[in-house]
Amino acid sequence: MSQLLVKPQARDHDGKIISVTPESARWEYVGFEVFSLKAGETLSKSTGESEVCLVLLTGRADVKTEKEHFENIGQRMSVFEKIPPFSVYIPNDDAYKVAALTDLELAVCLAPGKGNYEARLISPGDVGQEDRGSGKMSRKIHNILPEQVDADSLLVVEVYTPDGNTSSYPPHKHDQANLPHESYLEETYYHEVNPTQGYVLQRVYNDKRSLNETLCVENRNVVLVPEGYHPVTTVPGYESYYLNVMAGPVRTWKFHNDPDHEWLFPK
C-alpha cells in the first residue's frame, strides 16, 4: 500500500480509528485523528504543544476545555447533509473533554500552537460557504478555519465534489517557501464517499515526477500530501466529501497551478 494512504483501523481504547502524526507522516506540522464514539462515551485529552480544531463530522456532544463549556453542539447526522459542522478551536497548553450525546464521529486537527488565541466555538453560522469552479470542476466549500480568522497554524476546510467532477483543480501545489508567490503547507485529505462502497481517485505528483502516485481512495481513507499537485476525481454514481487540514511555517495559502493545465482557465 502507498505510504501516502492511511486506512481506518479498529477502534482503540479511546475510540480512535485514524491517526496521522508528524512522525508517521514524516513531516513537521500537521497531525490528524478521527474518533468514533458511541453515545455516552467520553474522550479526554491534553493539547500539549499543539493547537486543536475539533470538527464534529456527525453527531452531537458536550465539549469542555479548561476555560469554556459548549453544551449540546452538533447538528448533522451525515456529512452529506452538506450543512456546515460545529467545531471547537482549542489552544496549546489546554485540555478538552468530549462527551458524546449521540454516536459521534469526531475529527481532531492538530498543528503547532503559540498560545495567541483562546478556546472558542465555531458554529455553522461562522463557517463561510462558497461554490468554486464551474461545470465538471464545480464543488462546494465550507471554510471552517480559513486564514482570515484567528489561529496560530491550522487551516481547515471541507469540500463536496459531485459525482463525475474533479476538485482541487486545476492541479495546484503549495510545497515551496517562496512568499508571496507560494507557501509551504503540509496537507491531509480525510475522505468520505456516498454511497460508502464507492471510491474516488486522487493523484499526487511533482514536476520532476519523482513523486507520481494515483491512489484509489475508499470511504474514511486519509491521503497525505507532503508535496506536489493533488487533484481529486469522483467516479459516476458516487459523491465525495473531504476534510482538509493544512499547516506550515507561515499561516497563509498561496498555491501554484500546474502550468500544463492553465489553459483550462483563460485569463
Cα separation, 92 vs 114, in Å, equals 7
For residue 246, what are the β-bridge partners?
A: 155, 187
* Spatial CB neighbours of 247, under 8 Å, sequence gap ≥ 6: 29, 30, 111, 112, 153, 154, 155, 185, 186
Write the pLDDT tens digit of every residue in 192-241. 999 999 999 999 999 999 999 999 999 999 999 999 999 999 999 999 99
This prediction's pTM: 0.96
Binned at pLDDT 50, 70 and 90, residue 266 comes out as low
For residue 229, what are the β-bridge partners?
A: 205
CB of 95 closer than 8 Å to CB of 133: no
Angle at 234 between CA 131 and CA 247, to 5 degrees: 65
* Spatial CB neighbours of 129, under 8 Å, sequence gap ≥ 6: 84, 140, 141, 142, 143
Write the pLDDT tens digit of every residue in 120-169. 999 999 999 999 988 999 999 999 999 999 999 999 999 999 999 999 99
The pLDDT of 108-117, averaged and rounded, is 98
pLDDT of residue 267: 54
SS3 (DSSP) at 126: helix
At residue 236, φ and ψ (nearest 5 deg) are -55, 140
Pull the grid cell for residue 56: 464534529
